[in-house]
Amino acid sequence: MDMSGFDYDLFVIGGGSGGVRAGRVAAESGAKVALAEEFRMGGTCVIRGCVPKKLMVFASQFGPAADAARAFGWQNNARGDFDWTGTFRPTLHAELDRLEGIYTKNLGNSGADIFHARATIKDAHTVELSTGEAFTAKHILVATGGRPFLPDTPGAQELGITSNEVFNLDDFPKRILIVGGGYIACEFACIFNGLGSHVAQWYRGAQILRGFDDEVRGFLAEHIHERGVDLHVGLEVEQMERRDGAILVTGTDGRSEMFDQVLFATGRTPNTDGLGLEDVGVKLGRGGEVVVDDYSQTSVPSIYAVGDVTNRINLTPVAIREGMAFVETVFNGNPTKPDHENVASAVFTQPEYGTVGLSEEDARAREKIDVYCAAFRPMQKSFIGMNERVLFKLVVSQETQKVLGCHIVGDGAGEMIQLVAIAVKMGATKADFDRTVAVHPTMSEEIVLMKSPTRSD
């Protein structure tokens, strides 16, 4: 027990990226730290999110690449069948086990105590574990993340799966329906299409990728459809039933189709159920998220929360930054707000979409803007007669000439946007982009070659 009379200076609930980083850094700075994780260390991102998803993205690109290789002159380069059960899935699970081990080891090396148990909050300074043990802590950090959910659609609870289950499927689905229009739905539609499944994607809204730049949304919908995904907007699942070893799905427009799997990517919900938060006075929002101030502090002063459970910006690097800012604020005496401005992100569809800053619509709602846009067939695609185009777009303030937003669609857009994000974060102007000499021949040179606005307010 420490000098303050508590068992721990910090008790972290949740072993994902945000919680582990906060616990590790606090322990390295001399705090006595414990962390409880009820499932697997690494959380959504490492175990059932970004990492396995990106590995599936890589796998899904090799089939189409074999077709492209033939067009470039590689003979006898036939595309084979994708081996999910014998090769990919065991290799994937071995990699996730390795990463889980690293997370556990790094946290343990910092001196933190790790409990593989479910933790609930009993009062402002007490945590109780599913093992029956209870500990007191000066500060409690809730980093329990979020989870996908299955809707109330008839048959969905019994027959549907979410992104949580998709990496553990015993058999590779030859026919799969993806329900939803957010980035997770679009990514999995492209992944399974690339792996050789027949893929349908149904979304109830008017256009996929709500919240992103409108021009990009239309551009990507067109490309996803052209690549072979049977994409329908304005369409919902009316009912699902087991039929002949498969799933018969009926849509709200009367269509019915047979699928081997139906994956719902229709939203995520914060993991606050049964944690005891409301009982101790922690305020939750309408969606069940933990309400926090700029310093990640809840309505109970000793309890903080970071990451997806707060439903601010639900991205792994943001959770890590929030965890670091929490440690600075609480343990290093340096009040620090996590910076949520100009956070770049990537959508790993095929083609990829990288974005930083404001969409054209959000920027126009704030001020007068110039929009620079270029869409073209890159030489790698045009050489073999592929119609796929790339899109480069800059949203620029008329008054300050600062680049308010950048949007890139094309192979490697996620890699490109990381580097553009540095310039945007520094407040680069359109003139700064113009002064930069192009790297030729590349796709990305277009970002510094767009001379005249496509449209202005």
Q: What is the pLDDT of residue 1?
A: 47
Identify the active-site residue in 125, 139, 198, 440: 440
pLDDT digits over 33-63, tens only? 999 999 999 999 999 999 999 999 999 999 9
Query: In terms of domains, do 444 and 411 share one?
Result: yes
Residue 83 annotated as part of some ligand binding site: no
Q: What is the pLDDT of residue 256?
A: 96
Question: What is the count of structural domains for the chain?
Answer: 3
Specify if 76 maps to a domain. Answer: no
Q: What is the pTM of this model?
A: 0.95
- What single-letter amino acid sits at 368? K
> Domain span at residue 173?
149-266
Specify if 77 maps to a domain. Answer: no
Specify if 116 maps to a domain. Answer: yes
Query: In terms of domains, do 221 and 313 share one?
Result: no
Specify if 3 maps to a domain. Answer: no
The domain that holds 257 is classified in CATH as: 3.50.50.60
pLDDT digits over 187-204, tens only? 999 999 999 999 999 999
Query: In terms of domains, do 157 and 218 share one?
Result: yes
**pLDDT at position 2 over 70:** no
Specify if 358 maps to a domain. Answer: yes
State yes or no: is 225 an active-site residue: no
Give the residue from 248, 266, 284 where a domain finishes: 266
Residue 267 annotated as part of some ligand binding site: yes
Specify if 68 maps to a domain. Answer: no
Query: In terms of domains, do 377 and 442 share one?
Result: yes
Query: In terms of domains, do 310 and 279 share one?
Result: yes
Nearest to 325 by CA among 313, 315, 316, 335: 335
Determine phi and psi for 212, rounding to 5 degrees. Answer: -95, 175
Residue 45 annotated as part of some ligand binding site: no
The domain that holds 448 is classified in CATH as: 3.30.390.30
Q: Are 161 and 262 in contact (CB under 8 A)?
A: yes
Residue 181 annotated as part of some ligand binding site: yes
Q: Pick the range with the lowest mean pLDDT from 25-39, 75-89, 325-339, 393-407.
A: 75-89
